[in-house]
Amino acid sequence: MGRNIVETVIGAIVLCVAIAFGVYAFTATEATAPKGYEISARFPRVDGLKRGADVTMAGIKIGTVTGMELDKDYYAIVRMSIRNDIKLTTDTFAKVISESLLGGTGVTLEPGGNEQYLAAGAMITKTQGAIPFTDLLSRFIQPGGTSGAPSNAGGDSGEKK
């Protein structure tokens, strides 16, 4: 009988620790609803970008990607929640970037010099989409920008002699 009480107490302690860890993880990762105003940007491609990705300016997180969808012209519309204390100018430039070689993609914003600010729900029009790592690698390997067709380095033109 004493063994059952010890097992029950240990089980309760483990359960309390698990609940405390879950609460800590939820609050530490800012998994709560994003606070701030929402803006969007139109990109030609957003390879690897996911909901919840960081939106940064000068390397500092100022917001979160809240959603993505495809418009009628097959461009990616990315919705972002930006902190209320950050005011973005109407000529802000948005870029999808890789945070490391291992993956992880985010959006970085570069403010312009305009004195007018974006209102909630506004669209950033100056954007640069993601550049896939494989494209960068192929440009490095083939700096001439060839189309991938095999070269004729052997001198055989394929003609019968």
Give the pLDDT confidence of 7-18 residue by residue, as tens digits.
888 988 999 999
pLDDT tens figures, 79-127: 999 999 999 999 999 999 887 666 678 999 998 888 889 899 899 988 9
pTM > 0.85: yes or no: no
Type and span of the H or E element at 140: helix 133-141
pLDDT tens figures, 128-149: 887 776 776 777 788 665 544 4
Coil vs helix vs strand at 19: helix
Distances, alpha carbon 38 to alpha carbons 18, 125, 132, 160, in Å: 34, 15, 27, 66
Give the angle 116-117-118 at the CA atoms, nearest 5°.
135
